[in-house]
Structure 1
Amino acid sequence: MTFLQLIEYETTQKARVDDLMDEWLKATEGKRTATHEMLGQDRDKPSHFVNIVEFPSYERAMANSALPETQHIAEEMRGLCDGEPRFVNLDIVRDEKW
């Protein structure tokens, strides 16, 4: 079953957050369990972002979170955010494609 993790955060340092994501992608090559990632930016509030990350399962998402590289990048990212990021863990119960 597909699992999604939403990471919602505020930052005025988008370029640095993008750099961190690139660092994470390089550092976790061959060991990350995420299969797809999308980043949305709020049109009405440009400092508000939602990162949508897809995993094959909740267990694989937690394994990804436990990677030392993920922990390091997450800590760096917290320092770039205005407030704490919000995490939402979603089991996909319906998936329609049109």
Structure 2
Amino acid sequence: MAAFVQIIEYRTSKPDEVAALTEEFRKAREAAGDGEAPVRATTGQDRDDPGRFLSIVEFASYEAAMENSNRADTTEFAQKMMALCDGETKFHNLDVTQSMEYTR
């Protein structure tokens, strides 16, 4: 179970470009194989407000998330992503207090 979650809330009229950028970043990070990386990342589009997206990024710990945030490649990715966003991005930093997986 991840112990820290960051929710990134943003608006974009270029969701396919954001998805391609994110996939490119994931592949490069996995190929490098160094340093902290997210445990899991999920992105959803708001059904009631289609230009609004939320990415839920899970980390093993707060410290792992901060180490990831301080990486040069993460900074570069964030700058490229912000250029594809319409307006400001909002970050929510959450310590995980409970997590459940259902078997059915």
Which band: TM-score by shorter chain?
over 0.9
Report the Cα distance in structure 2 between the residues aligned to 1:96 and 1:26, rounded to whole angstroms.
Answer: 28
Give the C-alpha shift of residue 96 in structure 1.
Answer: 3.3
Report matched runs for 1:1-98 at 5 Å.
Answer: 2-29=3-30, 30-31=33-34, 32-98=36-102
Report the Cα distance in structure 2 between the residues aligned to 1:96 and 1:77, rounded to whole angstroms.
Answer: 31
Report the Cα distance in structure 2 between the residues aligned to 1:87 and 1:43, rounded to whole angstroms.
Answer: 20
Report the Cα distance in structure 2 between the residues aligned to 1:93 and 1:58, rounded to whole angstroms.
Answer: 13
Matched residue SS, 1:28: helix
Aligned length: 98
Report the Cα distance in structure 1 between the residues aligned to 2:6 and 2:82, rounded to whole angstroms.
Answer: 17
Runs of 4+ aligned residues of structure 1 deviating over 3 Å after TM superposition are: none
Say whether the 8 Å CA contact 1:36–1:54 is kept in structure 2.
yes
Q: TM-score, normalised by structure 1?
A: 0.93
Report the Cα distance in structure 2 between the residues aligned to 1:65 and 1:26, rounded to whole angstroms.
Answer: 17
Which sections of structure 2, spanning at least 5 residues, go unmatched?
none
Q: TM-score, normalised by structure 2?
A: 0.88
Give the C-alpha shift of residue 67 in structure 1.
Answer: 1.4
Report percent identity of matched pairs.
44
Matched residue SS, 1:43: coil
